[in-house]
Structure 1
Amino acid sequence: MSETQLSLQLLLAALFFIAAISIDLYKEKIPNTLCLMAIFCGFAINAYYAQLSGVLMASFGFGLAFILLFPTFLFRILGAGDIKLMMGIGALMGPELIFSSLVYGIVAGAATSLVLVIWKTGFTGVWKSMKRYWDCFYLRSYFKPEPGEAAGLTVPYAPALAIGWLWACFLDKDIVALFQNWSLYLKLGVT
């Protein structure tokens, strides 16, 4: 993979994540047009730079994201927009990076979800949910979440997916080498 291709992929993925995070935090939804643009760009860039092998890489990244994330949609863990966004990122970056991005995104999701829940409901909302869970367990009966309770919230997951992607990028040897080349170019250009 050429430096130009990888640089373009990273730039576009970062832009798609910035847009997705902004919209997801504001509207709690990731628009289909953004996801379709990511998917199209992923296939177009990979096809342009690597022809058939690029299309296959984009297809595997796209498909792997769908296969891994579709069960989370069925169990209402993630929304359809999150899945379509990651399918676009998978088409753009390929299967290896998308797999590690998703693993790290799950880890990051625990932290970002807690922060967003506390931000929206405060510690009292978290406390109410913990008390309700204890009551459900102790009385062996389900009680619906009350207004202002943390358990009743939907949490935007695009920030966690972006953190997972960044984490995977900083551990990828090709991307690290690209960043080192960029810093070398900057040093040579400055002096």
Structure 2
Amino acid sequence: MSETQLTIQLTLAGVFFITAISVDLYKEKIPNKLSLLAIFCGFAINAYYAQLAGVLMACFGFGLAFILLFPTFIFRILGAGDIKLMMGIGALMGPDLLFSSLVYGIVAGAGTSLILITWKAGFRGLFKTVKRYWDCFYLRTYFKPESDEAAGQRVPYAPALAIGWLWACSLDKDIVALYQNWSLYLGLGVT
């Protein structure tokens, strides 16, 4: 993979994530147009730079995102917008970085979800959820969460997915080498 291709892919993925986070935090929805643009760019860039091998890589990244994330939609863990966005990132960056991004995104999601839930419901909402879970466990009966408690909140997951992607990028040897080359080129002295 050329440095130019990788630079374009990273730049576009960053723009897609920043846009998705902004919209997801504000509207709690990731627009289909953004996801479709990510998917199109992924296939177009990989086809342009790597021809058939690039199209296959985009297909594998796209398909892996769908296979891994579709069950989370069925069980209402993630929204369709999150899944479509990651299908676009998979088409753009390929299956290896996509898989790492998802693993790290799950870890990051624990922290971002707790922060966003606390921001929305407050500590009182967290306490109500803990108490409800205790009651469910102790009485062996399920009680539906109330709208003002933490478990009754919808949490945007785009921030966690973006953090997972950044984390995966920071551990990818090709991306680290590209960053070091750019740092030297720009005279930042970072090695």
Bucket of the pairwise TM-score, normalised by the shorter protein: over 0.9
1:91 matched residue in structure 2: 91
Question: Letter of the aligned partner of 2:16 in structure 1?
Answer: F
How many residue pairs are counted as aligned between the two chains?
188
User: What is the RMSD computed on CA atoms of the aligned residues?
Assistant: 0.8
Task: For 1:1-191, list aligned pairs within 5 A.
Answer: 1-187=1-187
- Contact kept in structure 1, 2:58 and 2:90, CA below 8 Å: yes
Identity %: 82
Question: Letter of the aligned partner of 1:74 in structure 2?
Answer: I
How many angstroms does 1:121 deviate by? Answer: 1.0
How many angstroms does 1:23 deviate by? Answer: 0.4
- Contact kept in structure 1, 2:147 and 2:153, CA below 8 Å: no
How many angstroms does 1:159 deviate by? Answer: 0.1
CA–CA separation in structure 1 for the residues paired with 2:179 and 2:144: 49
Instruction: Tell me the alpha carbon deviations over residues 39-94 of structure 1, each in whole angstroms, 9 at most, x when there is no partner.
Output: 00000000000000000000000001111111111111000000000000000000
TM-score normalised over the length of structure 1: 0.97
CA–CA separation in structure 2 for the residues paired with 1:181 and 1:166: 18
- Contact kept in structure 1, 2:109 and 2:157, CA below 8 Å: yes
CA–CA separation in structure 1 for the residues paired with 2:111 and 2:5: 32
Please identify runs of 4+ aligned residues in structure 1 that moved more than 6 A. none
Instruction: Tell me the alpha carbon deviations over residues 131-190 of structure 1, each in whole angstroms, 9 at most, x when there is no partner.
Output: 0011111111111112310000110000000000000000000000000000110118xx
CA–CA separation in structure 2 for the residues paired with 1:187 and 1:33: 38
Question: Letter of the aligned partner of 1:10 in structure 2?
Answer: L
Question: Letter of the aligned partner of 2:172 in structure 1?
Answer: D
Any stretches of 5+ residues in structure 2 without a counterpart?
Answer: none
CA–CA separation in structure 2 for the residues paired with 1:97 and 1:147: 37
Describe the SS at the equivalent of 2:186: helix
Describe the SS at the equivalent of 2:145: coil
- Shifted more, 161-170 versus 144-153: the winner is 144-153
CA–CA separation in structure 2 for the residues paired with 1:183 and 1:81: 34
Any stretches of 5+ residues in structure 1 without a counterpart?
Answer: none
